[in-house]
C-alpha cells in the first residue's frame, strides 16, 4: 500500500528523517505524527501552528504572530511565550529530533518562523487543493472514465467540518477560510458536473439540490439542479427549480437570472437537447487493479499476470494527472527484489502511451560490462525516436547518444567539466522542449544499480528548475546502491512514494492460481503467502514448484528463500538447458542468441532447444528478435553465483572471444569479460579493452567509471608475462588513473596514485618516467597536496633536479614548475615564488590558455595569503577572465576562491559574500562536491564570526562529512581545528586536552601553543612552559594569523614578555584582519584584539587603547557584535591614566 499520500515520508539523506506528519485543518485542528495523534496544546499554541499553516510555507514575522495571538495587546513577555510555543510544537512534530539537531519542519528564518512540510500528504487542505487541481485537469472529453470524479470525491472526503473552524473569529484566518470555503463549493459543483457527464443524472440530483438550498444566491447550484432533473427525465421539476431560482434572486437581490439559467430554461421549453450532458460510454480501466482472468489457467506466462497494487495505481494516475495539467512530479517506486517494481512500471508505460504520453525508459544494468550512464542512453535513444533534440544540441548530447566506438575527442583544448555541464543542460533543455509539446514520462528502473554518472544526471534534472509536463519515475531496492545523495535531491521535489509491500492472502491466491493448472486450496495459499511474505516473484516461482511437485511440498517443504526455489527448478531442467542458462548468466541479464551460439560451440538446434525449454518454463523471456532475457535478475544472479571460479573464468573467456568477433565496438563488455577471464594469454587484450573503455567513459564524463576501468587495466597488466617497457606502460596507466580520480573528486586517492607512480619511476631509474609521473596531475585543486605544515624535501629535491635539464619542452617544464609549487605550498620558500614566476612566463610565451590558468593558480598558491592581497586580486581577475573566455569552470571557481580570500583579508564582507555565492553556484552547477565542501566551510566561518554557533556547527558538520566521504587527508585535522576554535571562543579549551594531544601529528609544533593553553586551563603551568620549548616559525600561509594569535594568547598567559614584544611587531601588519580568515574556513578573533592585549601586557596602554578601538571597528565591519563588545570592554577596563 502507498504510505502517507504523496510525500509524507521524506527520503533519507544521511540524517534521521522527521517522522511522517499529518495535520488536519478542514474541521478541528489536529495532528498525527508517526501514525499517532498528538495534542497540540492550548489555544495560543494551536494558534501559532494555524497561522503558520495559513502562510503555506512562507515565513511569518514573529511580530505579526505576537500581534495576532494577543490581538494587538501583547504582554511584556510575549516574545518568550512565542518561543516556548514554537519549542513545544517542534517537540510534538519532530519527537525523534536530537537536542542539538536543527529543526526541519518548523524552522526559524529571519524575521520569524515557517513550516517546511511536504507539499503532499502532510496537510489535508493542501491535499484537497492538489486533488482538486488534478480533477480539473482530468475533467474533459475523457472524463467519463471516472478518474476525475474519483479525484474530486477523494478531495471532498477530506473535509470533516468548516476550515479552521476554531479560528473562525480570528481576523488573520478570515481570508484563508473564505478561500477554502469557495474552493469547497467549487469542488462540489465539479462533482455534480462530472456525475452528469458520466451519465448518472439521478445520482447528481441530491447533491445539486443541496447546493441550491444551502447557497440559494449562487446560480450555478440552481443550473446544475435543473440540468440534472431534466437529464433524469423530470423536466417539470427542472422548470420549477428555475422558477424558484428566479424568485429568490428577485426577492433577495432585485436581479433577473443570468444568461446560463435563461439559456437552460429556454432549451427545456424548446426541447433543445444539445445542452443535455451526453451519456458516458463505459471506458475500460487502463491499468487493471487485479489480474485479468486467463483464457485457460496455467497457460499464461507469469509476467502477464498483474495482481493487486490498487493504491499504487491510483497514486500513479494522480501524479500523471498533475503532470498532464502542466505540473511536474516525481514518483519514487521502491521494493525488494521480486516485489513487482518492473511489472508495475511496465503497466504504467502502457497506460501512459495509450493516453498520448511520450514515454522513455531505461534500466540500470545489474551486471558489469555496460557503458556508463547506460540507462540514460537507452531512455534518450527512445525519446529521440519521437522527439528529436535540437540540432545545436547534437554535439553536447553525442557522448550519451553515440556508441562507445566513437573516438575520444581531444581534451587538450576542451574542459571535461564544461563538457559534462553542457551535456546535462542539453538533456534538460531537450526534455523541456519535448514536455512542452506533450506530457513526458522518464522511467528509470533498478536505480540501486546505477553508476555515478546516471545518478548525477538524474540529480541534475530533479534538483534544477522544475520542468512542466515531466514525470520522473525512478525505481530502486531500498538499502542497496549508493543512493543517499540522489534520494536527498529527489526528496526536495516532495515525491510520491510507492513502497511496494507483499501481496495479501487473497491477491496471493489469484497469482498462484494463474500459474497452477489445478485449483489450489486456501491452506496451501496461506502457507505460501506466509512463507514468501507476499513477494510476487517468490510466489510465482513457488507456484511453479507447487505445480510440478504437488501440494504436500507447498504445505510442508516450502524452500526458505527464492534462490532455493530456483535451484530446485534448475534440477528439473535438461542438462543442456542448464548449460545454456549458465552461459547466458555470464553474458548478463540479456543476451543475443547469436552470441550464445558462437560462445557455446554447440549446434544451433541443440542451443535453441535448450533456450526454448527455459522460455517455456518462464525463466527466460524474448524482449526482441534474437534476444533472450532472464525473467528476473534473481534468476541470473542465482545461476552466476553457483558457478565455480574456474568455470566462471572459462565461460567469460569464451564470451569475450565471441563478442570480439561479433561486436568489437562493445568496449565495456569486452573489458569486463576479458578481465573476468583472468588468463595470462589474454591479459594484453584485457589491458587494451580496459583502456579503450576507460577513454569511452571519459568521453561520457563518467570519471569514476573511467578510474575503475583503469584500475582493472593495471591489475590485468600484472598478469602479462612478456612485453616491452612494462614500467612505462604502468606509469602511463597510473597517470591516466590519477587524472580520472581528480576529475571524480577523489583527491586523496589521486595523491596515493601519484606517490605510487613517482616511486615506480624512481625504481626504474629513468628521468623520462619520473617527469611523466610528476606532470600527470593536470587538474586544479584547492587542497594542499601534502599534510599541513610538512614539506617533502625529497620530492622538492627530485623536482629541482629534473628542472636542471635543458631539453625539456616548455609545456613540460611549466607542469614540473607547477608540481614544485604544490610541494612548496604553505612553506614561504622563495623557490616557490621563482618557480611560479617562470611558469607564468612560459605559459604566456606558449599562448596556451589552460597552461596559463595552471601557472596563475600556481602563482597564487605560493605567494603570501595575508600580506599580498593586491597580487592575489590581480591574479584572480586575470584567471577569471581567462576561464570565462575559454570555458574553464574549475578555474572560474578558483578565481572566485582567490577573490574570497582577498576580500576576507581586507574585511570586505559584502564582497566576500558575493564571491562565496558565485563560487558555490559554480561548484553546485558543475557537480564538484569537494568544492561544495569548501563553500560550506566558508559559510560556516561567516556564521561563526557572527556568533551564530548552531548554524556554524551545521555547516561545518556537512563540510566535514563530505571531506570524510572523499577520504580527504585534511578531514581529521580540520574537524579538530574547528572544535578547538569553538572551545577557545567558549572558554573551555581545558576540556579538549586529549584532542589537542591527538592532533600533534597533524599540525606538529604549531599545536604547541594550543597545548600550552589547555594545560594552563588545567593548572599545569610548568608543563605548559615545557610544551612551548621548541618554538617554530609560523609559515606565511592562510593560517598564519590564526596560529600567531594563539601564540599571543599563550605568551600572555605565561608572561613571556620578550616574545610578546616580538609578536607585537609580527602581528602588526595583520591588524585589519580577523585571525584565520585568509583560509576562508576558520576564524578566531580580531588580530587587533590580540595586539591590544599584548600591548596592555607590556604596559603600553595608549597603544593598547588604539588597538582595542580598531578591534571594535573590525568586528563591526564583520557584523560580529560579541567581538565588538569584547573590544569595547577591554578599552573600558583601561584606566584614564592608562590611556
What is the per-residue pLDDT across 853-907, written as a single tens digit (0 to 9) for each? Answer: 999 999 998 888 899 899 999 999 999 999 999 988 889 999 999 999 999 999 9
Q: How far apart are CA 911 and CA 903, in angstroms?
A: 6
When pLDDT is averaged across residues 646-668 and rounded to a whole number, the result is 92
Nine-digit cell at 142? 475523457
Does 68 score more than 90 pLDDT? no
The pLDDT score that the predictor gives to residue 305 is 63
Poorest-confidence range of 367-376, 400-409, 799-808, 921-930?
400-409
- Tell which phi-psi region holds residue 534, choosing left (phi > 0), alpha (psi between -120 and 50) or beta: left
The pLDDT score that the predictor gives to residue 241 is 84
Q: How far apart are CA 1071 and CA 1068, in angstroms?
A: 5
The pLDDT score that the predictor gives to residue 470 is 92
Does 1117 score more than 90 pLDDT? yes
Collapse the DSSP code of 746 into the 3-class scheme (helix H, G, I; strand E, B; otherwise coil) and give the result: coil
168-209 pLDDT per residue, tens: 888 888 888 888 988 988 888 888 888 888 778 888 888 888
Q: How far apart are CA 709 and CA 1019, in angstroms?
A: 58
Using a CB cutoff of 8 Å and minimum separation of 24, what contacts does 857-860 make?
Answer: 857/780, 857/818, 857/891, 857/894, 858/817, 858/818, 858/821, 858/822, 859/821, 860/894, 860/898
Res. 299 pLDDT band, cuts 50 70 90: very low
Task: Output the average pLDDT for the chain.
Answer: 83
Q: How far apart are CA 282 and CA 632, in angstroms?
A: 36
986 DSSP 8-state letter: T
Poorest-confidence range of 309-318, 739-748, 811-820?
739-748
The pLDDT score that the predictor gives to residue 297 is 30
Collapse the DSSP code of 109 into the 3-class scheme (helix H, G, I; strand E, B; otherwise coil) and give the result: strand
Which tops the pLDDT comparison, 276 or 923?
923
The pLDDT score that the predictor gives to residue 784 is 60
Highest-confidence segment of 90-94, 673-677, 1068-1072: 1068-1072
The pLDDT score that the predictor gives to residue 560 is 53
Does 301 score more than 60 pLDDT? no
Does 273 score more than 90 pLDDT? no
The pLDDT score that the predictor gives to residue 1042 is 93
Does 161 score more than 60 pLDDT? yes
Residue 19 neighbours by CB distance under 10 Å: 19
Res. 8 pLDDT band, cuts 50 70 90: very low
The pLDDT score that the predictor gives to residue 293 is 28
Does 387 score more than 60 pLDDT? yes
Calculate the alpha carbon distances from 1060 to 689, 1072, 1083, 1084, 1130 in Å: 65, 19, 21, 19, 18
Poorest-confidence range of 533-547, 739-753, 1044-1058?
533-547
The pLDDT score that the predictor gives to residue 277 is 67
When pLDDT is averaged across residues 661-676 and rounded to a whole number, the result is 91
Q: How far apart are CA 371 and CA 164, in angstroms?
A: 56
Res. 377 pLDDT band, cuts 50 70 90: confident
Q: How far apart are CA 636 and CA 302, in angstroms?
A: 17
Domains of the chain: 1-180 (1.10.10.10), 199-279 (1.25.40.10), 302-499 (3.40.50.300), 505-572 (no CATH)
Res. 1120 pLDDT band, cuts 50 70 90: very high
The pLDDT score that the predictor gives to residue 936 is 94
839-863 pLDDT per residue, tens: 999 999 999 999 999 999 999 988 8
The pLDDT score that the predictor gives to residue 300 is 36
When pLDDT is averaged across residues 374-394 and rounded to a whole number, the result is 86
The pLDDT score that the predictor gives to residue 19 is 56
Share of the chain above pLDDT 70, in %: 89
CB 312 within 8 A of CB 498: yes
The pLDDT score that the predictor gives to residue 281 is 33
Q: How far apart are CA 513 and CA 519, in angstroms?
A: 7
The pLDDT score that the predictor gives to residue 1104 is 94
The pLDDT score that the predictor gives to residue 292 is 30
Poorest-confidence range of 233-247, 392-406, 1093-1107?
392-406
The pLDDT score that the predictor gives to residue 1002 is 56
Q: How far apart are CA 697 and CA 740, in angstroms?
A: 10
The pLDDT score that the predictor gives to residue 1085 is 94
The pLDDT score that the predictor gives to residue 561 is 65
Q: How far apart are CA 616 and CA 860, in angstroms?
A: 70
The pLDDT score that the predictor gives to residue 274 is 66
Poorest-confidence range of 156-160, 232-236, 687-691, 981-985?
232-236
989-1001 pLDDT per residue, tens: 888 888 888 776 5
Res. 661 pLDDT band, cuts 50 70 90: very high
Does 153 score more than 70 pLDDT? yes
When pLDDT is averaged across residues 111-129 and rounded to a whole number, the result is 85
Q: How far apart are CA 800 and CA 816, in angstroms?
A: 9
The pLDDT score that the predictor gives to residue 911 is 95
- Residue 1113 CA neighbour count, 13 Å, CB half: 10
When pLDDT is averaged across residues 364-375 and rounded to a whole number, the result is 80
CA-closest candidate to residue 596, choices 633, 629, 574: 629
441-473 pLDDT per residue, tens: 999 998 888 888 888 888 888 887 888 999 999
Render the burial of 134-169: b for 16+ CB within 10 Å, e for the rest. bbbbbbeeebbbbbbbbbbbbbbebbeebbbebbee
Amino acid at each position: 500500500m502507498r504510505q502517507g499520500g504523496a510525500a509524507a515520508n521524506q527520503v533519507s539523506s544521511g540524517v534521521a528523517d522527521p517522522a511522517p506528519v499529518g495535520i488536519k485543518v478542514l474541521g478541528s485542528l489536529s495532528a498525527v505524527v508517526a501514525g499517532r495523534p498528538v495534542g497540540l496544546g492550548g489555544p495560543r499554541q494551536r494558534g501559532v501552528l494555524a497561522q503558520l499553516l495559513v502562510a503555506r510555507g512562507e515565513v511569518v514575522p514573529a511580530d505579526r504572530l505576537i500581534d495576532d495571538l494577543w490581538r494587538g495587546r501583547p504582554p511584556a513577555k510575549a516574545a518568550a511565550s512565542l518561543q516556548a510555543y514554537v519549542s513545544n510544537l517542534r517537540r510534538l512534530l519532530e519527537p525523534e529530533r536530537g537536542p542539538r539537531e536543527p529543526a526541519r519542519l518548523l524552522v526559524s528564518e529571519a524575521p520569524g518562523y515557517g513550516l517546511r512540510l511536504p507539499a503532499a500528504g502532510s496537510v489535508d487542505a493542501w491535499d484537497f487543493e492538489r486533488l482538486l487541481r488534478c480533477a480539473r485537469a482530468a475533467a474533459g472529453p475523457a472524463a467519463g472514465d471516472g478518474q476525475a470524479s474519483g479525484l474530486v470525491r477523494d478531495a471532498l472526503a477530506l473535509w470533516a467540518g468548516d476550515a479552521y473552524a476554531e479560528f473562525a473569529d480570528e481576523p488573520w484566518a478570515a481570508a484563508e477560510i473564505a478561500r477554502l470555503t469557495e474552493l469547497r463549493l467549487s469542488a462540489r459543483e465539479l462533482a455534480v458536473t462530472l456525475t452528469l457527464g458520466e451519465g448518472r443524472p439521478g445520482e447528481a440530483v441530491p447533491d445539486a439540490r443541496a447546493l441550491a438550498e444551502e447557497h440559494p444566491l449562487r446560480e450555478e447550484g440552481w443550473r446544475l439542479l435543473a440540468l440534472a432533473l431534466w437529464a433524469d427525465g423530470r423536466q417539470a421539476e427542472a422548470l420549477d427549480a428555475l422558477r424558484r431560482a428566479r424568485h429568490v434572486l428577485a426577492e433577495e437581490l432585485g436581479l433577473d437570472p443570468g444568461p446560463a439559467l435563461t439559456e437552460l430554461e429556454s432549451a427545456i421549453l424548446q426541447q433543445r437537447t444539445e445542452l443535455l450532458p451526453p451519456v458516458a460510454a463505459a471506458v475500460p480501466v487502463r491499468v487493471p487493479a487485479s489480474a485479468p482472468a486467463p483464457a485457460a489457467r496455467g497457460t499464461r506466462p507469469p509476467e502477464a499476470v498483474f495482481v493487486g497494487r490498487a493504491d499504487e495505481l491510483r497514486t500513479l494516475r494522480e501524479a500523471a494527472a498533475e503532470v498532464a495539467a502542466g505540473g511536474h512530479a516525481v514518483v519514487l517506486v521502491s521494493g525488494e527484489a521480486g516485489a513487482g517494481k518492473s511489472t508495475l512500471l511496465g503497466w504504467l508505460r502502457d497506460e501512459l502511451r495509450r493516453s498520448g504520453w511520450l514515454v522513455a525508459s531505461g534500466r540500470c544494468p545489474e551486471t558489469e560490462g555496460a557503458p556508463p550512464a547506460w540507462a540514460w542512453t537507452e531512455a534518450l535513444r527512445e525519446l529521440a525516436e519521437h522527439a528529436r533534440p535540437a540540432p545545436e544540441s547534437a554535439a553536447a548530447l553525442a557522448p550519451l547518444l553515440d556508441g562507445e566506438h566513437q573516438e575520444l575527442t581531444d581534451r587538450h583544448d576542451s574542459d571535461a567539466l564544461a563538457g559534462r555541464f553542457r551535456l546535462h543542460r542539453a538533456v534538460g533543455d531537450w526534455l523541456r522542449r519535448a514536455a512542452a509539446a506533450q506530457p513526458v514520462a522518464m522511467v528509470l528502473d533498478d536505480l540501486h544499480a546505477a553508476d555515478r554518472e546516471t545518478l548525477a544526471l538524474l540529480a541534475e534534472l530533479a534538483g534544477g528548475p522544475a520542468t512542466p509536463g515531466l514525470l520522473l519515475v525512478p525505481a530502486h531496492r531500498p538499502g542497496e546502491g549508493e543512493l543517499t545523495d540522489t534520494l536527498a535531491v529527489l526528496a526536495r521535489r516532495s515525491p510520491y512514494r510507492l513502497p511496494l509491500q507483499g501481496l495479501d492472502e487473497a491477491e496471493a491466491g489469484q497469482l498462484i492460481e494463474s500459474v497452477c493448472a489445478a485449483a489450489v486450496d486456501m491452506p496451501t495459499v496461506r502457507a505460501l503467502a506466509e512463507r514468501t511474505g507476499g513477494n510476487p516473484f517468490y510466489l510465482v516461482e513457488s507456484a511453479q514448484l507447487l505445480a510440478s511437485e504437488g501440494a504436500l511440498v507447498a504445505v510442508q517443504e516450502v524452500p526458505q528463500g527464492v534462490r532455493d526455489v530456483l535451484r530446485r527448478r534448475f534440477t528439473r531442467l535438461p542438462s543442456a538447458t542448464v548449460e545454456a542458462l549458465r552461459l547466458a548468466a555470464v553474458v548478463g541479464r540479456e543476451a543475443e542468441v547469436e552470441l550464445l551460439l558462437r560462445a557455446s560451440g554447440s549446434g544451433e538446434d541443440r542451443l535453441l532447444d535448450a533456450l526454448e525449454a527455459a522460455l517455456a518454463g518462464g525463466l527466460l523471456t524474448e524482449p526482441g528478435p534474437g534476444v533472450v532475457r532472464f525473467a528476473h535478475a534473481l534468476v541470473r544472479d542465482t545461476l552466476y553465483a553457483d558457478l565455480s571460479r574456474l568455470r566462471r573464468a572459462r565461460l567469460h573467456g569464451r564470451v569475450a572471444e565471441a563478442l570480439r568477433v561479433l561486436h568489437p565496438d562493445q568496449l565495456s563488455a569486452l573489458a569486463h569479460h576479458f578481465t573476468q577471464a583472468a588468463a595470462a594469454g589474454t591479459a594484453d587484450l584485457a589491458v587494451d579493452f580496459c583502456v579503450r573503455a576507460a577513454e569511452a567513459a571519459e568521453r561520457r564524463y563518467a570519471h569514476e567509471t573511467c578510474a575503475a576501468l583503469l584500475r582493472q587495466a593495471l591489475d590485468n597488466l600484472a598478469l602479462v608475462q612478456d612485453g616491452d617497457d612494462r614500467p612505462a606502460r604502468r606509469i602511463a596507466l597510473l597517470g591516466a588513473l590519477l587524472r580520472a580520480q581528480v576529475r571524480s573528486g577523489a583527491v586523496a586517492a589521486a595523491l596515493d596514485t601519484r606517490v605510487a607512480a613517482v616511486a615506480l619511476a624512481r625504481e626504474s631509474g629513468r628521468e623520462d618516467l619520473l617527469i611523466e609521473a610528476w606532470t600527470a596531475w593536470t587538474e586544479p585543486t584547492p587542497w594542499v597536496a601534502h599534510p599541513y605544515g610538512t614539506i617533502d624535501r625529497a620530492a622538492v629535491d627530485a623536482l629541482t633536479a629534473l628542472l636542471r635539464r635543458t631539453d625539456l619542452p616548455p609545456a613540460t617544464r611549466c607542469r614540473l614548475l607547477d608540481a614544485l609549487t604544490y610541494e612548496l605550498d604553505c612553506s614561504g620558500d622563495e623557490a616557490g615564488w621563482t618557480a611560479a614566476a617562470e611558469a607564468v612566463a612560459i605559459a604566456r610565451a606558449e599562448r596556451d590558455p589552460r597552461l596559463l590558468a595552471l601557472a596563475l593558480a600556481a602563482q597564487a598558491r605560493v605567494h603570501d595569503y595575508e600580506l599580498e592581497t593586491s597580487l592575489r586580486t590581480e591574479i584572480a581577475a586575470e584567471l577569471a577572465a581567462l576561464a570565462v573566455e575559454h570555458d574553464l569552470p574549475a578555474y572560474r571557481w578558483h578565481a572566485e576562491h582567490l577573490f574570497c580570500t582577498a576580500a576576507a583579508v581586507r574585511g570586505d564582507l559584502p564582497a566576500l559574500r558575493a564571491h562565496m555565492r558565485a563560487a558555490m553556484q559554480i561548484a553546485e552547477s558543475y557537480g564538484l562536491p569537494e568544492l561544495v565542501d569548501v563553500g560550506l566551510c566558508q559559510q560556516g566561518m561567516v556564521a561563526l564570526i557572527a556568533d551564530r554557533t548552531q548554524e556554524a556547527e551545521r555547516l561545518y558538520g556537512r563540510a566535514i562529512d563530505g571531506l570524510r566521504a572523499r577520504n580527504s587527508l585534511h578531514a581529521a585535522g580540520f574537524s579538530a581545528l574547528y572544535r578547538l576554535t569553538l572551545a577557545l571562543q567558549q572558554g573551555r579549551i581545558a576540556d579538549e586536552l586529549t584532542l589537542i594531544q591527538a592532533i600533534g601529528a597533524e599540525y606538529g609544533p604549531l599545536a604547541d601553543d594550543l597545548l600550552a593553553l589547555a594545560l594552563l586551563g588545567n593548572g599545569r603551568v610548568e608543563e605548559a612552559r615545557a610544551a612551548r620549548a621548541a618554538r617554530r616559525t609560523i609559515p606565511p600561509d592562510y593560517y598564519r594569523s590564526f596560529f600567531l594569535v594563539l601564540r599571543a594568547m599563550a605568551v600572555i598567559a605565561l608572561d613571556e614578555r620578550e616574545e610578546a614584544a616580538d609578536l607585537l611587531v609580527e602581528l602588526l601588519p595583520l591588524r585589519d584582519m580577523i585571525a584565520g580568515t585568509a583560509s576562508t574556513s576558520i576564524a578566531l578573533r580580531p588580530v587587533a584584539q590580540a595586539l591590544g592585549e599584548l600591548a596592555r601586557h607590556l604596559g603600553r596602554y595608549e597603544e593598547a587603547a588604539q588597538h582595542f578601538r580598531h578591534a571594535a571597528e573590525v568586528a563591526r565591519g564583520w557584523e560580529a557584535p560579541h567581538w565588538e563588545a569584547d573590544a569595547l570592554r577591554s578599552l573600558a577596563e583601561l584606566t584614564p591614566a592608562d590611556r
